[in-house]
Amino acid sequence: MHIPASRLLSLLLIPPVLGGVLTWSALSAWAADGAAQVPAALLTPARTAGEAPAMEDLPFYRPELAGRYGACQAAHPDWTAARSVLWVNMGLDHPFYTGTDTVEQPDSLTVLVNKYRLLPADYAPQVESVGASYGSGSLRPQAAAAFRAMADAARADGISLRSVSAYRSYARQESTYNRWLSQDSQASVDTYSARPGASEHQTGLALDINVASLKAHFEDTPAYAWLAEHCAEYGFILRYPQGKEHITGYQFEPWHYRYVGVEVAQVCMDRGLTLEEYFALRPAQEEEPEAAPEAADPEPAQTESAAPAQPVAPDPQPDPDLPMI
């Protein structure tokens, strides 16, 4: 059975694909049925001969990565072609911070920034303050407007959401990362702080909500529960979820949210996908989305340049358990 690329992308093979093994017949049945969640039958302890599709038949197969797919399959003979292709599409066949690329469309609202895809050192988006009543920091206008709308909706439900850290320039991230290096080993720091160029905060699309400390146990709060249920409605995703550390390269950060727009956010949050998984599953013929236009700014005077000459609020003072991705 051939599964149209658009159908497969809309269903998105979600995380168990990477932890288990898919059979092609089960995947075909699932796609035909249109189930919202992946059934247990999709996972088998080993590949079933004759059922797994050839790599070239997968919608998310990318010919330019054929050599890496083959090497990954050879290193993991018990994996299906689908698992190997997804793994390589996410770059996970290489150690973090090796084989890196410079992001070509940093203004895209769905830009993927991680330990393989780095922002240019001189990239500085146009940002605006989130507003004193919404916390501290600045975001790109569309993300700032979405955060204010989300915070207003949460407030109506008795929940307080405030930004504690948002846009951060390349230079500020470099300073932050080096500060942590003076206190901890690089192997440890890399699990909770991004190297300069690899921080989502530089996009102006990410922010830390209410806290930025593991000691705060934000995941146990009503605010976190509210965000888990509603953040996608406003275009945000939990960027570094629990159980996906091997994919994102960062420890669980219940406070770190990223604006990607409502459509992508709903897919990611409904399916439990990281942004890495979302893009790894995109059909090969689809290119990365062009930069989406910013929403019209009703008050142009509030928009400020993110260039170094503009005053920027200082980073929160670090404590031993406060990661600054």
pLDDT given for residue 288 in this prediction: 54
What confidence tier does 302 reach under pLDDT thresholds 50, 70, 90? very low
* Choice among 29-43, 127-141, 163-177, 194-208 with the minimum mean pLDDT: 29-43
Check residue 221 and report its DSSP letter.
Answer: S
Question: What DSSP element (H or E) covers 255?
Answer: strand 253-259
- 3-state secondary structure (DSSP) of residue 303: strand
| Domains with residue ranges and CATH for the chain | 5-89 (no CATH), 101-305 (3.30.1380.10)
Alpha helix positions (H), 34-182: 66-75, 81-89, 141-156, 170-181
Q: d(Cα 314, Cα 317) in Å, to the nearest integer? A: 8
Q: Which residues does 202 contact at the CB level (< 8 Å), separation at least 6?
A: 113, 119, 123, 167, 168, 169, 170, 173
What confidence tier does 283 reach under pLDDT thresholds 50, 70, 90? confident
Structure tokens at 87: 């793994």
pLDDT, greater one: 196 or 27: 196
pLDDT, greater one: 15 or 156: 156
Selected catalytic residue, list 128, 200, 253, 294: 253
- The amino acid present at 234, given as its one-letter code, is Y
Asked if 253 is an active-site residue, the reply is yes
pLDDT by residue (tens digit) across 223-264? 999 999 999 999 999 999 999 999 999 999 999 999 999 999
Cα–Cα–Cα angle for 85, 110, 129, nearest 5°?
150
What confidence tier does 51 reach under pLDDT thresholds 50, 70, 90? low
pLDDT by residue (tens digit) across 113-123? 999 999 999 99
Question: What DSSP element (H or E) covers 199?
Answer: none
Taking residues 24-32, what's their average pLDDT?
35
pLDDT at position 15 over 80: no
pLDDT, greater one: 44 or 185: 185
What confidence tier does 303 reach under pLDDT thresholds 50, 70, 90? very low
pLDDT, greater one: 180 or 17: 180
Q: d(Cα 258, Cα 199) in Å, to the nearest integer? A: 11
